[in-house]
Structure 1
């Protein structure tokens, strides 16, 4: 287990920012933490990173209580903030080599640290920018460098806080490919916060929805869509007439439709319930 949270509570004065939050993150998973502003996402992340002490509950990250994590434990976690600034005259390779040197004392026989600088540059797609000054990188390249900085110590857990805020669609897609490669090829576990539902749908194996300091829902994208957004919608034309049918088994329904009517079926469309549908349904339910 990479992350184990049970009954987490965070109180400021008489206000509970987090109230009885429980969840798990398994090795190699990408877990997305969703929720409106003020839901408690940032507080949860800060507690897991050991930056903030909780009021109550049990929290274990990589086998240790973050409130008492030492430097060796911190070396196992990478963090990519929404934004950060360093000296723009650093060259990309020099910066990563310098930061990586801090992790060398924390290597173990089973887990070598830091990441080889040239290998990391290749992994994040910045090999051609190795000698370039940081200030001359594009927005998408800069975000790749942010990930490289978070990953330079070969973390077992990588925390991404609003990772694609401000990126254009092409850079966002490239970033998603990068995260998936870290998971699929290097076994990194990822916990991310985002307001981008399409991003969560694209990246996450599991979704946690925080609302009012509590876990309002959790599950895979498909599970949440089925539970909160309703059924799929199938539309088709038959003998000139348009039909619409809601069903939880759209693929099987379409197959049966063609088996019975064959080529007479035209303009078939299947609209599957999405994470956005589920999230909006959750928000409406909370507001009511």
Structure 2
């Protein structure tokens, strides 16, 4: 796949001396859904703001569909739609006036049929003549999405789009994201709802303290860094893990009625087969088997935690 967004060695240091981004390089593929995950203050919004041309970087370069977003700002910016975290609408305007103005600001010809389609897909058509100040918080956020889509962008940035949105509105938004991807729109989102990234994204990026820790295909990431568990439900309880199973990473749970085998997602299935043979040879009766895999949230927490431990160890080593 070709890249529609290319970020090369991007840095950002504010006047206070705070370094928000540290040599970030990233390629966003055309037509994918890319989720950027990270703790508060990790640099997610700063990165998005720089790519969208709202903040100037200290160093590095951003290309949007081949256009430098500083030297060729207009060409780059018209390809981008941005849904920010904060509600930035003119509260006294109607929904319809707001969306029409947003399209006009990008020099697009009038297309009321398209705007009607966008508002209908966002369940805003019945609210089109209402002032934004009279809408609920969830509806105001939908207006932000409508504004971002009004000029038919090729890339859509969603910065915490479902923050404070109820379950029904959140579901509708993600259904629209899927439809947009099917039309060829590239989606970049940041979210604190990691389960949404797990469900929606094609690739995952993890950023921490201004550094991009990794970018990886979602399924590949879960296979490489996730762990799996095989739980053997037993007919009779055990007081301890038998000596004959000492070579396996097993724990005894559920008052002795469950043997839990934890293994790396990359481990071969032969390990499970050997375990089951050993259990059978010891005469342990198994009533049921249950398997599970670590979620993206488990992986994310583990990555951040391991990075913190590494930095702490390096700091202690330097102090010594």
TM-score class, shorter-chain normalisation, is: 0.7 to 0.9
Q: What does residue 169 of structure 1 align with?
A: 167
Going from structure 1 to structure 2, the CA distance change for 1:71 and 1:204 (only over 3 Å counts) comes to same
Going from structure 1 to structure 2, the CA distance change for 1:34 and 1:93 (only over 3 Å counts) comes to same
Alignment partner of 2:67: what SS?
coil
Q: How does 1:123-138 map to 2 (within 5 A)?
A: 123-138=121-136
Q: How does 1:248-267 map to 2 (within 5 A)?
A: 248=265, 266-267=287-288
Which moves more between the two structures, 54-63 or 26-35?
54-63
State how far apart, in whole Å, the 2-side matches of 1:41 and 1:53 are.
15
State how far apart, in whole Å, the 2-side matches of 1:249 and 1:224 are.
11
Going from structure 1 to structure 2, the CA distance change for 1:113 and 1:193 (only over 3 Å counts) comes to farther
Which moves more between the two structures, 73-82 or 134-143?
134-143
1:64-86 superposed Cα distances (whole Å, 9 cap, x missing partner): 11122333432221111112243
Q: What does residue 188 of structure 2 align with?
A: 191
1:89-144 superposed Cα distances (whole Å, 9 cap, x missing partner): 433233322332333x357xxxx978711111123232333333323333332222
Going from structure 1 to structure 2, the CA distance change for 1:65 and 1:81 (only over 3 Å counts) comes to same
Q: What does residue 116 of structure 1 align with?
A: 114
Alignment partner of 2:123: what SS?
coil
Going from structure 1 to structure 2, the CA distance change for 1:135 and 1:62 (only over 3 Å counts) comes to same
Shift of 1:246: 2.6
Shift of 1:249: 7.2
Q: What does residue 31 of structure 2 align with?
A: 28
Greater Rg over alpha carbons, structure: 2
State how far apart, in whole Å, the 1-side matches of 2:113 and 2:82 are.
15
Q: What does residue 47 of structure 1 align with?
A: 50
> Between Structure 1 and Structure 2, how many residues are aligned?
277
CA contact (8 A) 1:115 1:152 kept: no
Matched, 1:272 2:272: no
State how far apart, in whole Å, the 1-side matches of 2:37 and 2:25 are.
15
Going from structure 1 to structure 2, the CA distance change for 1:87 and 1:56 (only over 3 Å counts) comes to closer
1:174-216 superposed Cα distances (whole Å, 9 cap, x missing partner): 22222222212x2211112222212222222111111122111
Q: What does residue 160 of structure 1 align with?
A: 158
| Backbone CA RMSD of aligned residues | 3.1
Q: What does residue 38 of structure 1 align with?
A: 41
State how far apart, in whole Å, the 2-side matches of 1:113 and 1:59 are.
31
Going from structure 1 to structure 2, the CA distance change for 1:59 and 1:100 (only over 3 Å counts) comes to closer
State how far apart, in whole Å, the 1-side matches of 2:301 and 2:67 are.
36
- Extract unaligned runs of 5+ from structure 1: none
State how far apart, in whole Å, the 2-side matches of 1:145 and 1:266 are.
54
TM (normalized to structure 2)?
Answer: 0.75
CA contact (8 A) 2:234 2:258 kept: yes
CA contact (8 A) 2:91 2:131 kept: yes
Query: Does 1 or 2 have the higher relative contact order (CA < 8 Å, sep 6+)?
Result: 1
TM (normalized to structure 1)?
Answer: 0.83
State how far apart, in whole Å, the 2-side matches of 1:68 and 1:171 are.
38
1:28-61 superposed Cα distances (whole Å, 9 cap, x missing partner): 1111111122222222112111122222223211
Q: What does residue 262 of structure 2 align with?
A: 246
Matching residue within 62, 65, 73 for 1:62: 65
Shift of 1:158: 0.9
